[in-house]
Amino acid sequence: MELTPTLMGDVVELTRAICDVESVSGNEKVLADAVEVGLRRIDGLEVHRDGDAVVARTHLGRAERVVLAGHVDTVPLARRADGSPNLPVIVEGEGPDAVLHGRGTVDMKGGVAVQLHLAATVAPTDLARDVTYVFYDQEEVEADRNGLGRLAATHPDWIAGDFAVLLEPTAGRVEGGCQGTIRVAVTTHGVAAHSARSWMGHNAIHDAGRVLTRLASYLPREVEIDGLLFREGLNAVAISGGIAANVIPDRCVVTLNHRFAPDRSVANAEEHLRELFDGFDLDVLDAADGARPGLDHPAAAAFLAAVGGRAEPKFGWTDVARFSGLGVPAVNFGPGDALLAHRDDERCPAGQLTGCADALRRWLTTPSG
Amino acid sequence: MELTPTLMGDVVELTRAICDVESVSGNEKVLADAVEVGLRRIDGLEVHRDGDAVVARTHLGRAERVVLAGHVDTVPLARRADGSPNLPVIVEGEGPDAVLHGRGTVDMKGGVAVQLHLAATVAPTDLARDVTYVFYDQEEVEADRNGLGRLAATHPDWIAGDFAVLLEPTAGRVEGGCQGTIRVAVTTHGVAAHSARSWMGHNAIHDAGRVLTRLASYLPREVEIDGLLFREGLNAVAISGGIAANVIPDRCVVTLNHRFAPDRSVANAEEHLRELFDGFDLDVLDAADGARPGLDHPAAAAFLAAVGGRAEPKFGWTDVARFSGLGVPAVNFGPGDALLAHRDDERCPAGQLTGCADALRRWLTTPSG
């Protein structure tokens, strides 16, 4: 596949073409090569390559710089209802009513196509702000392979900006920021004994009752940040204890997951849990900071005005937190319905592709108020 | 090995000889054959055989009938500290200070030897009550292979009596009756959801907190039965719940073990648990009735007087409950320290063998007061 100006000029055909270049995580090279070559042909873009990540930037000397980012990998292919693989893409219908069926149409080569289309079709003179286009690899696998994480560590200057839009599928809604997450193990300790002589031991599972009642009575915070209401949560996601059917258990482990609003750091969240479970043995298993929506930034306000609708908070942890970690507020906004991502019948209406491209074009070309 | 009158006359040599006939569960035939032949030589005994169980009974027309019972199988051989197998028996020391080392010396060929020795050496005219000697197979394996259970099902008349002594090792103490046991699963049900949107679900592990606090605050009964104090217990022996680190769990299972005094039946115990956990989903996993000590029976009182000491309750479930199920009160009383049973260094002092035989001889020959 070659990213010719003609192909890049039609966002629907472009989506179809880049979906048909299979790029399951770890196998992005062919597509990344095509993206790099296509971007290098465009006047006024500085292009960088790191592994299978490609970054292209304008240098117009505008007051603001915004970032459009998307991952070029997909989850593995699946089979359609008729047993055939879900690539190449099948198009049903025509024109604005067409629907593209196949792997990546939603998550997220539709968004990647919108980025490429904008890079190729918005004249630099029309841009109200400088733009950085980021195409990265290995988002659908373990966090330590993530291409955006690699760029943040090795070339933070390439992806710096005042505001970022991650073109993950949101079906046209704006999802701002994301909650942080921390997982801890709370362990109770007892003394094993034969269950026929239970008074010789001490039951660690019974002690876990105090952990669970504390969880059941916990009132999670609701916090408004940059106009978005974040709802926290604190939940046991696993519990295990027991040695044998006739033995008083000497150990019980409750695994908790706390999702916290982005006004708190991981350190704050850990401190909160240690206060809540004071007197219990608590170990942190893993944690990640959240991200503030950053909707108070002028570029963000202009973005919301251009794309319309109301922003909503993002509850799950997403790559917007990586931008936030670099001091770049970020939102999710892209074509496709996230509920169809990863499914065998993944599919995206052509109208969402053109609609998303039009909204972002309005924004990129409209000065901040 | 042949059970000659001379061999049966010396309980220590007899213990050694029958230990040296390896009879790991399922391999009792050679020993059972020898026991059957030996018993058939004794005047005044009616002998029955069922599989590898042998029963011998006097028919003197006495007012009471007592049962002495023991299993002839052992757990598998092990190796002594020097690496050699723990059979044949090694005798250390001499006379009353001798100690027999080897598999079965404690659990429970010492007790079996006492039974055989009494059958061979107590003259029928001296017996104050009729006696039934029960030798059974496969006690050390799954309950459904138990030879006493088989006899109870197929020949309950062979093992009927007014009072039974099971010659399991108790190191000379009398352990009366046994507690019943019931295992149940208490399950809570929730609604799965992503843990970042926990309010969309319902946490089943949190609900289990009410089960655990009920257990933690439960005050087990202490009940005196026939002069013995039975202490009950109600304990979680296992808990499990959780689907994935980021999912609100829709199910949590608490496995409970209730050990109940023998004044309650399995049906009573189940009803008690259903009241205690009213509103929860409760399934009975397994259960077994306990056994009353039966120490109020004249033959039992005479037994306690003859063997001396104070009876104590048995907390674990034992084969005395099988007798109890047939309406025969039963106690454990036999040579050997139960803590040495099944160990590589299993061993029994000769003095306990002769002491136990003497105590039971006194009892069998002394009329009830």
Decide if B213 and A213 are in contact by the 8 Å CB cutoff: yes
Six-digit token string for B362: 């006194």
Give the integer Cα–Cα distance in Å for A238 and A77.
Answer: 31
Give Cα separations from B339 to A56, A197, A352, B342 (angstroms): 77, 15, 76, 8
> Residue B358: enclosing H or E segment and its boundaries?
helix B350-365
Mutate to test the interface with B, among A142, A221, A235 (most CBs of B within 10 A): A235
Strands B174-176 and B311-313: parallel
Q: Which residues contact B226 (CB under 8 A, 6 or more apart)?
A: B176, B177, B292, B293, B294, B295, B296
- Determine, for residues A237 and B255 on separate chains, whether the beta-carbon distance falls below 8 Å: no
- Give tens-digit pLDDT for B237-273: 999 999 888 889 999 999 999 999 999 999 999 999 9
pLDDT of residue A198 exceeding 80: yes
Amino acid A305: pLDDT = 87
CA A166 to chain B, closest CA, distance in angstroms equals 19
What's the token pair of residue B91? 């005798």
- Choose among B195, B235, B242: nearest Cβ to A203: B235
Complex ipTM, two decimals? 0.76
Report chain A residues whose CB lies below 8 A from the CB of B233.
195-199
Residue from A73, A107, A168, A250 carrying the catalytic annotation: A73
In this complex, do A239 and B240 lie within 8 Å of one another by their Cβ atoms?
yes
Q: What is the pLDDT of residue B369?
A: 65
- The reply to whether residue A209 touches residue B207, judged by beta carbons under 8 angstroms, is no
Interface test with A, best of B179, B183, B206, B257 (most A CBs within 10 A): B206
Mean pLDDT to the nearest integer, A264-283: 97
Q: Are A282 and A274 in contact (CB under 8 A)?
A: yes
Q: Under a CB-based contact definition with an 8 Å cutoff, are residues A213 and B213 in contact?
A: yes
The residue of chain A nearest to residue B198, with distances taken between CA atoms, is A233
Question: What are the chain B neighbours of A252 within 8 Å (beta carbons)?
Answer: 239
Q: Provide, as residue numbers in chain B, all residues whose Cβ is less than 8 Å from the Cβ of A210.
A: 213, 216
Contact A195 B257 (CB under 8 A): yes
Q: Taking the mean position of all CA atoms in its chain, how far away is CA B333?
A: 11
Instruction: Give percent above pLDDT 70 in chain A.
Output: 100
- Residues of chain B whose pLDDT is less than 70? 369
> In chain B, what residues touch A256 (CB-CB under 8 Å)?
none
CB contact under 8 A, B183 and A245: yes
List beta partners, residue B341.
none
Question: Dihedral angle at the C-alpha atoms of B9, B13, B16, B20, nearest 10 degrees?
Answer: -80
Q: Answer yes or no: do B246 and A239 touch at CB < 8 A.
A: no
Query: Does the distance separating the beta carbons of A195 and B259 come in below 8 Å?
Result: yes
Phi, psi dihedral angles at A340 (to 5 degrees): -95, -5
Cα–Cα distances (Å) from B68 to A308, B52, B140, B166, in that order, read: 91, 17, 18, 6
The DSSP bridge pattern shows strands B99-101 and B46-50 to be unpaired
Q: For A125-134, A199-208, A318-327, B22-31, which range has the lowest pLDDT when averaged over its residues?
A: A318-327
Q: Find, in chain A, the residue whose alpha carbon is nearest to that of B250.
A: A237
Question: Between A and B, how many residue pairs show a Cβ–Cβ distance under 8 A?
Answer: 160
- Rounded distance between C-alpha atoms, residue A219 and residue A223, angstroms: 13
Write down the pLDDT at residue A369: 65
Residue B258's DSSP bridge partners are: B182, B234
Residue A349: closest CA among A9, A118, A75, A95: A95
Q: Cα separation of B165 and B359, whole Å? A: 12
Within 8 A of B236 by CB-CB distance, chain A residues are 203, 205-206, 241-242, 249
Cβ separation of A239 and B239 shorter than 8 Å?
Answer: yes
Contacts of B195 in chain A (CB under 8 A): 233, 235, 237, 257, 259
Query: Shortest CA distance to A106 belongs to which of A343, A332, A319, A341?
Result: A341
Res B266: pLDDT: 95
Q: Which residue of A has its CA nearest to B179?
A: A196
E strand or H helix at B56, and its extent?
strand B53-57
Q: Return the minimum-mean-pLDDT range out of A21-30, A73-82, A128-137, B312-321.
A: B312-321
Catalytic pick from A36, A139, A232, A250?
A139
The answer to whether residues A99 and A93 touch, using CB atoms and an 8 Å cutoff, is yes
CA distance A80 to chain B (A): 26
pLDDT tens digits along A135-169: 999 998 888 899 999 999 999 999 999 999 999 99
Task: Give the minimum alpha-carbon distance from B323 to chain A in angstroms, rounded to a whole number.
Answer: 20
Element (H, E) at B323: helix B320-325
C-alpha atoms less than 13 angstroms from C-alpha of A161 in its C-beta half-sphere? 33
To probe the interface with A, which of B199, B212, B213, B314 has the most A CB atoms within 10 Å? B212
Query: What kind and span of H or E run contains B54?
Result: strand B53-57
Nearest to B87 by CA among B27, B137, B157, B139: B27
**Measured distance CA(B9)–CA(B116) in Å, rounded:** 9
Contacts of B247 in chain A (CB under 8 A): 237
Closest residue in A to B255 (Cα–Cα)? A245
Helix (H) or strand (E) holding A183: strand A180-189
Query: In degrees to the nearest 10, what's the CA dihedral of A250, A218, A232, A276?
Result: -60
Whether residue A248 and residue B237 make contact (CB cut-off 8 A), yes or no, is yes
Question: Which residues of B carry out catalysis?
Answer: 73, 139
Alpha-carbon gap, residue A132 to A35, rounded angstroms: 14
Nearest CA in chain B to A259: B196
Residue type, A112: V
Side chain identity at residue A309, one-letter code:
G
> What's the predicted TM-score (pTM) here?
0.76
- For residues B272, B277, B281, B286, the Cα torsion angle rounded to the nearest 10 degrees is -40
B327 Rama class: left (phi>0) / alpha (psi -120 to 50) / beta: left
Across the interface, whether the CB atoms of B316 and A242 are under 8 A apart is answered no
Give the burial class of A121: count Cβ atoms within 10 A of its Cβ; 0-12 exposed, 13-18 middle, 19 or more buried: middle
Q: Which amino acid is at B153?
A: A
Tell me the CB-side half-sphere exposure of residue B126, using CA atoms within 13 A: 12
Rounded Cα–Cα distance for residues B203 and A218 (Å): 12
Strands lying side by side in the sheet with A130-136: A46-50, A53-57, A130-136, A65-71, A163-166, A330-332, A174-176, A311-313
* Per-residue burial over A193-224, b = 16 or more CB atoms within 10 Å of its CB, e = otherwise: bbbbebeebbbbbbbbbbbbbbbbeeebeebe
Pair A116, A51: CB distance under 8 Å: no
Which one of A198, A239, A317 has the shortest CB-CB distance to B205? A239
Query: Looking at the partner chain, which of B179, B215, B243 has a beta carbon nearest the beta carbon of A209?
Result: B215
CA dist., res. A158 & res. A50, Å (int): 10
Band (A275; pLDDT cuts 50, 70, 90): very high
